[in-house]
Chains A and B, each alone.
Chain A
Amino acid sequence: MDIMNKARVKSPWVLHFNCGSCNGCDIEILAALAPRFDVERFGIINIGNPKQADVLLVTGPANRRNFRVLKNLYDQMPETKVVIVVGSCGSTGGVFYNCPNVLGGVDKVVPVDVYVPGCAARPEQIIDGFILGLQKLAEKGKKKVEGR
């Protein structure tokens, strides 16, 4: 099962979900995908489809309007999966903290594995976040094997 875990780490497909951010972090994420930072080096692809994704990349705070969507997308992702939150507002609510419609960080709705702070988070940070996320993915994969 070692191969399986290696493959898991080597091929994280991403579902990017904007949960109501200011778009600052989204631009940074796109920058990470674009030639300068080129995260496809690590096999990362923006697949846009929860059913095939391994990483849920969320920007923006959870709010009353779309927390259900967030939950649904998370549920539609098959195990093994990790959730990475990019940006301060997604982590805690950030600049939107205490706004009437905002619930707070993404972790109010779905379990979050990695928080990438910053307003906006820089691509290097996002890549760092990915590396941490992939370690967690590997751990989850191992646990799944042992759990059998």
Chain B
Amino acid sequence: MYGELIVATNVLLPLIMGLACLGLTGRGIRRAIIAIMAASLIASSLLLFYSGGFVYSPNYLVEMSALILGFCLVAYFLYVGFRIKNVLVIGLTLLQILLVAYFEYSAIGVSVEPALMVDNLSIFMSLIVNIVGSMICVYALSYMDEHEEILQLSRSRQPRFFFFLLLFLGAMNGLIYSNNILWLAFFWEVTTLCCYELIRHDRTKEAEKNAAVALWMNLTGGVALSASLFVSYYAIGSIALNELLMAGAAPILLLSFAFMALAAFTKSAQFPFHGWLLGAMVAPTPVSALLHASTMVNAGVYLILRIAPAIKDTHLTWAVVLVGAFTFMLTAVLAISQRGSKRILAYSTISNLGLIILCAGLNTPLAYSAALILLLFHAISKGLLFMGAGVVENRLHSQNIESWEGLLGRFPLTAIIMIVGMISMFLPPFGMLLGKWAALEVIASSPPSIVFLLIIFMVIGSATTTLFWARWLGRLIILPVKETKLRAEKLHPPYLLSLLSLLSLDLFISVGAAFFISNLVNPTVGGGYSVQIGAPLFSINTTIGSFPVLLFWLAVGVIFIAGFAVAKSKGGVVKPPFLGGENVEGNPSAFRTMADTEAEFQVSVMSFDSIGEGRLNKYALVGGTLLLALLFLMVMF
């Protein structure tokens, strides 16, 4: 009963509400629908967290209808493939149909008990998906209004947008509850569909093109998942994920896991599949937020985390590690050459996912928990950052971070939210650093055969991460002398609600990290876990290190309070910058040049064009492809 309730609210209700959005196009009604949906999703995921996992098998009818829906979906993909005349899409879809049809034919009546199984990992994921996801939906209410105002659409396309947005959340929930791999593959394809439709939402040429890329790359993942289904059925005669995971590590099963890992890499945009996530930036910002923070990319990570225990001590796991490590490093380097706000965020996402996958692949209890910590905090911070970036984009009509100059003076509230978001990505004592701390420990204690490579990847990746965040942060806090009195700007209520609640969530969880890790992460990791909480709420200790979280926060607080006290007591006159004495009275960003004429000047970020995409992308593609080959090679050993 309780399981049915959860499944109904988390999987079916989004679909129904989405359809309602399609039907009832009024703005007020839509707001009400989203509000109800967000509240119920959050409530049900919290309920799920408090009451623990369950198993649930829907009756035969549901299974049949899911199957039919699945075929409809694939047929739709085929139609899309012909419409956009994309051979890859057509080919992959046909392959998919062939695989599934043959499977259904040869394995008639195979059923899985239970079809849905919710364990701690699913609960963990569901908290992220639902809480962050619903905040993004709320945020989208304001964003899409502004977006359509800017585009000056004659007819609102919002109903469609919100339909897919909600469907996306539902499918994601379904995906993380599924135990039947066939169901998993079905929900997997639904997320692909939503992703495709949302990316091409604006119907521009670029959007269509990038959506097609996203489609074929994710279809590759879908095919890989079907292949894995196939292999698993022939190896153990079952398509239940839990049985597959228990079945041991025979080479043929490893093949199945390798296919799953491949599928995960496509969804998580690891090399060489990073292209689609970057292209997805053309979509309205809530889509990016959803893809990056709560749904799409997390699906891939989820799958890796799911299969990680099963591939422990196999060679396969090292291939996974290498893919993650390589992606982590190279995307961080790529990010420093970027100037588009959303592109930097996208690279940072891919990079962090790489780190998560690296940790998952390392496959020790500590590594596993590092992966979970990173996943949790990354979702919150990245959601916040994308949402903030979207607000800024709608105001500046530009994605170039050059134009973010002096945001603190112009839009203080948004700027502060962005600044906290950025800091939470790369500075202690926020959660991401906690994860990185654990990751460093894990990497240092990995086996000697791989440790040097990993260390090099890791140090370069983390140093460049600091660089690109700090560089961007610097843009925001430029304060020309004129604007020294900051006054918060006005934001729409949905903006305020979503931004502030995610911000406070981020702070809250980071401050209470020890508590959340012991109550949320530790149960998810399960047995053989080595991270202990020193004193409740206080610090996190491993066997080789310790991170006194609360003490750290306290110290940070003391430093800033003391800093403000010093600044208050000493005060100071605000003076324009030093410009060789050629300042212009009353205009801090101009200087006097030849013949005493005034010239405006700009301060720009350093560009690092020489190590940009043009140069590194080929390494990314080649390296990624080689590592994928390695992935399948490892199966044979």
A, B assembled together: yes
Interface residues in chain A, defined as those with a beta carbon under 8 Å from any beta carbon in chain B: 17, 49-51, 66, 68-70, 72-73, 76
Closest 7 CB pairs between A and B?
A69-B581, A72-B581, A73-B581, A72-B583, A51-B578, A69-B582, A49-B578
Residue of B nearest to A51 (CB): B578
Whether B575 and A51, one on each chain, are in contact in the complex, defined by CB atoms closer than 8 angstroms, is yes
Asked if B160 CB lies within 8 Å of chain A CBs, one says no
Asked if B592 CB lies within 8 Å of chain A CBs, one says yes
Whether B578 and A68, one on each chain, are in contact in the complex, defined by CB atoms closer than 8 angstroms, is no
Contacts of A70 in B (CB 8 A): 581
A72 to B580, CA, bound (A): 9
Contacts of A49 in B (CB 8 A): 578
A70 to B575, CA, bound (A): 16
Residue of A nearest to B572 (CB): A78
A17 to B580, CA, bound (A): 10
A99 to B581, CA, bound (A): 24
Contacts of A72 in B (CB 8 A): 581-583
Contacts of B575 in A (CB 8 A): 51, 76
Whether B578 and A76, one on each chain, are in contact in the complex, defined by CB atoms closer than 8 angstroms, is yes
A50 to B592, CA, bound (A): 18
A17 to B581, CA, bound (A): 10
Contacts of B581 in A (CB 8 A): 17, 50, 66, 68-70, 72-73, 76
Q: Mark B10-30, 1 if CB is under 8 A from A, else 0.
A: 000000000000000000000
A73 to B575, CA, bound (A): 12
A68 to B583, CA, bound (A): 9
Most buried by B among A17, A49, A68: A68
Q: Mark B585-624, 1 if CB is under 8 A from A, else 0.
A: 0000000100000000000000000000000000000000
Residue of B nearest to A73 (CB): B581
Contacts of A66 in B (CB 8 A): 581
Contacts of A73 in B (CB 8 A): 581
A68 to B585, CA, bound (A): 11
Contacts of B582 in A (CB 8 A): 69, 72
Contacts of A51 in B (CB 8 A): 575, 578
A72 to B592, CA, bound (A): 12
Q: Could you list 20 A-B pairs, sorted by A, with CB under 8 Å?
A: A17-B581, A49-B578, A50-B578, A50-B581, A51-B575, A51-B578, A66-B581, A68-B581, A68-B592, A69-B580, A69-B581, A69-B582, A70-B581, A72-B581, A72-B582, A72-B583, A73-B581, A76-B575, A76-B578, A76-B581
A49 to B575, CA, bound (A): 14
Q: Mark B551-591, 1 if CB is under 8 A from A, else 0.
A: 00000000000000000000000010010111100000000
Residue of A nearest to B580 (CB): A69
Contacts of B580 in A (CB 8 A): 69
Instruction: Please give the distance in Å from A76's CB to the nearest CB on chain B.
Output: 6
A17 to B575, CA, bound (A): 20
A50 to B582, CA, bound (A): 13
Residue of B nearest to A69 (CB): B581
A73 to B580, CA, bound (A): 8
Instruction: Please give the distance in Å from B562's CB to the nearest CB on chain A.
Output: 22
Most buried by A among B575, B581, B582: B581
Most buried by B among A49, A66, A72: A72
Contacts of A50 in B (CB 8 A): 578, 581
Residue of B nearest to A72 (CB): B581
Contacts of B578 in A (CB 8 A): 49-51, 76
Given A49-B578, A51-B575, A51-B578: 8 more A-B contacts, CB < 8 Å? A17-B581, A68-B581, A68-B592, A69-B581, A72-B581, A72-B583, A76-B575, A76-B581
A131 to B580, CA, bound (A): 27
A50 to B575, CA, bound (A): 12
Instruction: Please give the distance in Å from A9's CB to the nearest CB on chain B.
Output: 22
A70 to B592, CA, bound (A): 13
A72 to B575, CA, bound (A): 11
Q: Mark B527-564, 1 if CB is under 8 A from A, else 0.
A: 00000000000000000000000000000000000000
Contacts of B592 in A (CB 8 A): 68
Residue of A nearest to B575 (CB): A76
Instruction: Please give the distance in Å from A58's CB to the nearest CB on chain B.
Output: 12
Residue of A nearest to B583 (CB): A72
A15 to B582, CA, bound (A): 15
Instruction: Please give the distance in Å from A132's CB to the nearest CB on chain B.
Output: 25
Instruction: Please give the distance in Å from B594's CB to the nearest CB on chain A.
Output: 11
A72 to B582, CA, bound (A): 7
Contacts of B583 in A (CB 8 A): 72
Residue of A nearest to B581 (CB): A69
Instruction: Please give the distance in Å from B59's CB to the nearest CB on chain A.
Output: 77
Residue of B nearest to A66 (CB): B581
Residue of B nearest to A75 (CB): B575
Instruction: Please give the distance in Å from A4's CB to the nearest CB on chain B.
Output: 14
Contacts of A17 in B (CB 8 A): 581
A76 to B582, CA, bound (A): 11
Residue of B nearest to A71 (CB): B581
A66 to B592, CA, bound (A): 11
Instruction: Please give the distance in Å from B141's CB to the nearest CB on chain A.
Output: 48
Instruction: Please give the distance in Å from B595's CB to the nearest CB on chain A.
Output: 10
Residue of B nearest to A17 (CB): B581
* B88-139 interface (Cβ within 8 A of A): none
Instruction: Please give the distance in Å from B262's CB to the nearest CB on chain A.
Output: 58
Instruction: Please give the distance in Å from B389's CB to the nearest CB on chain A.
Output: 34
Residue of A nearest to B579 (CB): A72
Instruction: Please give the distance in Å from A105's CB to the nearest CB on chain B.
Output: 19
